[in-house]
Structure 1
């Protein structure tokens, strides 16, 4: 099958999430897979989800928080620091 006719068959749900960052409630829209992965990374680092996401937020240079989380998950997965996990 030519690359241009490949279709992604996995459906991913983008959901609106609320989280408290540095004492302020904020919301973001992100796929379940990335949300589960960032929760897993927070646990692996013995941090609360809010604390871990606050670090991601404070280190991002551009873009929105959802994109920054996706990039962090990708970076950690490429570095081998995100072990395989099942849906949570």
Structure 2
């Protein structure tokens, strides 16, 4: 089973916590680095466009980033 990690982050100047499994945190760090952003900045960007739970929105963002271009959901 994958370890779940809860981390505190600042979003728009407000502290909040995000709970993700370790591989998602690793992928989030990788995506942020590739875009020249801090992890917090990437989380803020996802937060600004989400409609539901932040942790879920981050997982969907990460999944979309790692899918091949043009791939369709199964």
Length-normalised TM-score, structure 1: 0.73
Post-superposition Cα deviations, 1:15-55, rounded to whole Å, max 9, x if no partner, equal 11111111111102110000110111001000111111100
Matched, 1:66 2:69: no
Alignment map for 1:9-88 (pairs within 5 Å): 11-61=1-51, 63-79=52-68
CA RMSD of the aligned region, Å?
1.2
Equivalenced residues, count: 69
Output the CA distance in 2 between the equivalents of 1:12 and 1:70: 14
Unpaired runs of at least 5, structure 1: 1-10, 81-88
Unpaired runs of at least 5, structure 2: 70-74
Report runs of 4+ in structure 1 exceeding 6 Å deviation: none
